[in-house]
Structure 1
Amino acid sequence: MINRMDSHNEHVILIESDPQISKLIAEQSLKPLGFQVDVYESAAAILQEVEDLAPDVIVTSLNLIGLSGKDLLIALKAEGIDVPIVVTANKGQEADILQAIRLGAVDYITCPIREVEVINVIENVLNKQMLKQQVEIYSVNLDQTKSAMEHQLADFSQIFSFARLALSTKNLQILNDKIISLAMLVTEADCAWLLSSDGSQAAFILQACHNAPEKVTASLHLPYEDEISALAGASGQVVSVHGEALSRFTGYEQFGSVLAVPVLSNGQVESIIIVARSLAQPFSNSHQAMLELVVNVASSALENCQRFHQLERSLTLLQQSFVYTSIESNIKSDLLRQASLEIRTPLKNMMENVDVLLEKGELQLNQEQAIALDDVQEDTEILMDIADSMINSRQSEPMRLVEIDLNEVVRNITNRFKPIAQLGKITLTVSAPAEPVNLKVYPSQITKVIEGLLSNALKYSPPNGEIILQISERDTDISLSVSDQGNGIDEQAAEWLFQQKSNLFGYTANRFGGIGISLPMIKEIVTTYKGKIWMEPMQEKGFKITFSLPR
């Protein structure tokens, strides 16, 4: 919740025909806190101007003369204008309030208007809007990160393909042409050329070029030198020049940025790769790193097969690292999806509780209505927990294989989940070997697998139940099983349990079990490690999910 002592500058449009209500909401409640409030007596007056006014929230009465509050909701929705709308109504208008919510209203205020209620509702709406925007930004960033990783992985695949080609190709010109094509690809350059030493270190020969200026192409297979290549050759260092600075170098006036990387052998510059483009922005560190990798591959391929095999192993590890990094991105996306599924259930409960109040139609709350309001409060607290988890999701750990003690990891996770289990009076039991169970994995991913299985078990376990986490080891593999005492599952449902976008049986969860990744995501991680995962029903009730990983 926004601190009441904080100042506000959010823009609120108030549409109210009653001067006393307008004064209470605008002058007495919102403006003293710093809100910018514009008051209108009719909805028609702002309908054409709402996009230009760009309000952060609209407060409208349902009892306007002419164009009503519900009419305004319909009109704004038809125009595709997404502004949170709060409606005000009299007591006895519960049916109208419910209809307005179904038309898109995010909250409501009932008469008689109270200052505290106005402030609470407006601040709550603004907080939810801010949370929505942050989640959208986070999702966009995830998509961008995933796209960048996929692009880099494609570049790595091209480099690996070139390295394999170099083993079977004896034509040096083909290799040189492939090198500059690869250099253009990984740096997103417009043109490139390759210079190689003539053996005397006195001059460099232009061996290959692509889309290069006429002055460059005219020197193909001849001695060639310009100021930038001479600087890279003399220093043995990467040279990056862009913008106005390029005007000082003859022959580069038509380019916006240039990157030259020397190829070293035994401390001597053997070749120079130059890439250029019209965009007047410097090549990024990623571009430079990828080009340097191309240089290393080219040098290794042209020198000897032994260095190529070393590079092949390095590229294999790099590809594997990018696969696991991609999974890490999928985990975050999956967590957001699972959080969204968790939010829907309490929201549905809230709507059902409101329906209970409407059906009774009494001003005084009876026992059933009081219980319903208690449920609304509890579900709202669950929503806040979920929202906090979405915002405060921890950043990924560095992606490297680490040897862990599975016993210790399981106990740490169990300790973190104990408060949630205690709320449902559920006992968590860990059965593990006395000696450490060592396993070489990416710790963050295996942690997410165990958290996901435990979260699912907590959601569907009955009160006073027991969840058992059992670790077993054999000569060839290590396994972990999570068993509960829930309702269990039939064999037909088990067939699609690990399919993408499946929600566990479609059953309603008994409680909030923490936010864990889905079973399809868990299966993807386990199979990436060349492991197995399966489900088996228990003898009496509940079921057990087990996964195994090779040693």
Structure 2
Amino acid sequence: MNLIQGHLENVISKLMDSEERLKQAIETGHMGTWSINPETYEVTISGFIKEMFGFPLDENVSMEKIMNAIHPEYHQMLTTVLSNAIAKGESSDTEYSITNQQTGETKWVRATGRVFSTADGKPMEYSGLFMDITERKLDDLRKNDFIGMVSHELKTPLTTLSAYIQMLRGRAQNNADDFTNNALDKVGAQVKKMTGMINAFLNVSRLDSGKIQLEKQEFVLNLLLEEMIQEARVTTAHHTITLLPGEQISIVADRDKIGSVVSNLLSNSIKYSPRGNIIEVECKTEGRKVVVSVRDEGMGIKPEHLDRLFDRFYRVETKHTQHISGFGIGLYLSGEIIQRHDGKIWAESEIGKGSTFYFSLPLE
């Protein structure tokens, strides 16, 4: 009996020693640990996290006190992540800003976590790591400020150029100069393309710096889809774009930004599908959410690219796409807009048969 007890004490001692070493390694790497009780929502955080928030090291910190230190624009997102993690067992990976309660300084942090369950599947603990990413975020903000400044500077000459194109086009039409008219049309198309790219860079800069705010209103989603389809039809004479019949669905969201998401998906379908192909748009409800899909009969996307389509500046580079212009910004912006609506965006595809892009939004 004494032998067993001695063995157990030795095992426990080694486990405690390993735990202490792991804790030291985590804190040396400017990280902390946290855990939440799924039933009581009682929070346990390490000393590193308390220092980040500016809480006394000997204080038992409540969930309410932590939320008060997190900037308000992230409250809804974090509440949704927490409820989904506990209810559905989803892993989480979030970034948000906080205010140090002692110094008033703003810090950027990243928190990753997962739910640990009992043998019968009951959530037992929601825990993970907490990292200080302030320096990286500040670098990103400086970079985005530079992009925004350069983009603004580039827009001014393009606006002037567009005005001169309009003036010259009027003269050419009066003189029935078909060659000049055709040349100006081509120049105008390139100016329009460049303006679109600059606006996309500006939107990335505004999005990352938190200057893009959602202006939610109630509207009929089907009508917005029809508007975007009408605009897309003007840009192509070789595609048939249709909205499949369905029930009228009203949602509360930022109409202009959801419109830009639909416009981007339609533009991609046009660019990446052969001439004369059908593009179908569908809108339907699934439980407490609405799902929009844009299906084309294009070249398709390999499975290894699907998970990265919504990364910033990511493009699928193949011999079939080399001639297609773009910087990999549109899908990134679309993904960010949908995420800020507490929605989801994804794609399904098969090489040679086409792709379908989906996004879902909650019905309030």
Q: Which has the larger radius of gyration?
A: 1
Q: Which has the higher contact order (CA 8 A, sep 6+)?
A: 2
Normalized per residue, the structure richer in strand is: 2
- The TM tier, using the shorter chain, reads 0.3 to 0.5
